[in-house]
A and B are shown apart, each in its own frame.
Chain A
Amino acid sequence: MWLPVLGLVVGVALGLVTNVTVPVAFSSYLSIAILAALDTVLGGIRASLEKSFDGAVFLTGFFTNTLVAALLAYIGNQLGVDLYLAAVVAFGVRLFNNIAAIRRGVFLLLRQRKLNRENAASRAQS
């Protein structure tokens, strides 16, 4: 469970140590890619809570969404259309949906655990 968190810390440390800088022109593409990646990660957490997590879908979704989002922003920039806004809206909505679903899932999980504990306690008393 702590390994993904450790991975996140390692990634942050790697970014700080390598001191890689992205040109300002590509900064917006990376922002969209991060948004897509966040959406994928939150979608993965939601799926794991709903017991429907698929590793292959998760991995391919991460890379595909990230690349497609950046590509969409690039194409929009070339066409002079703010296509990245579409990606921001789409991923933003999905992000909030996933967060809401995760919140509900966590509540359900906590209530289920509490209920299980109460049942176990009542069984022990009887």
Chain B
Amino acid sequence: MQRKSLILGVSAISAALGFMLTVQITSRPSYSGNSTSYIDLRTQVDELAQEHQILENDISKANAQLDEYQVAKESGSSLQQVLLNDQKTVEQQAGITPVSGPGIVITIEYDPSVPAVPEDMALYPSMQDQMLAETVNTLFGNGATAISINDQRLVTTSSIRLVSGLAGIEGVNVNKVPITMPYEIMAVGNVQTMQAALTVESLKDYYNMMGVGFKVAAHTEKNGVQVAGYTGALPGQWAKEGNG
């Protein structure tokens, strides 16, 4: 009787042990690699903590570098602003941008009412380029800061040329663009100085002798005269610097 109860007890304990073993084996998460013990896990945690620290340091370094870049960017933007201002100034000086201000408008066209000299009238067609050049040079030399002839802005590379066609008709090209009468010269600058210079040079008289009217209109208001910007080809547009 005692042996029977003993066997039953041992059997019950065996069943409990089997149950515990099965539960433990089935509950244990499967690892892809070799079996991982608690100590291995702690070692891995330590390694991960060290790696975490290293990554934290990397983040700190990256943040510091980012701050440097931000500072550099800000200084770069101010530099960019200065360069943009310079570009704007250079463009204004080069005559690329339209300008406005007080100035004079000269209209040159044939006028039968002027006291013309017949011999001189015949000369005008072949001299009109020189007359225009003389006029704008007088203006440039006496206070004009921006001049255009029939909306062709005069810049450092501009040209005023007399061209003759096959029929013998002579015309004027400004900035290689043909223009026709009436010529309208717009000049921004000191109105009084320009007017005085034109009077001193007697340009009106010369034009009148050739049968051409020379009317000067002064516009002293703030934006009295508007001179167009240069739209032609720039010097470096086609020709590039060579390697040699």
Contact = CB atoms under 8 A, between A and B. Distances in A.
A4 B24 contact: no
Size band of the interface chain A makes with B: 35 or more
A79 interface: no
Contacts, number: 102
A74 interface: no
B20 A30 contact: yes
Interface string B1-36: 010011111111111111111111011110000000
B10 A4 contact: yes
B238 interface: no
Given A11-B22, A12-B22, A58 B11 contact: no
The prevalent SS among residues of A at the interface is helix
Size band of the interface chain B makes with A: 20 to 34
Contacts of B5: 55
Given A24-B29, A55-B6, A55-B9, A7 B14 contact: yes
A8 to B, nearest CB: 4
A14 B15 contact: yes
A15 B6 contact: no
Could you say which of A11, A14, A24 has the most chain B C-beta atoms within 10 Å of its C-beta?
A: A11
Could you say which of A19, A41, A55 has the most chain B C-beta atoms within 10 Å of its C-beta?
A: A55
Interface of B: 2, 5-24, 26-29, 38
Given A11-B22, A15-B18, A30-B27, 6 more contacts: A4-B13, A7-B11, A15-B22, A24-B27, A37-B16, A62-B13
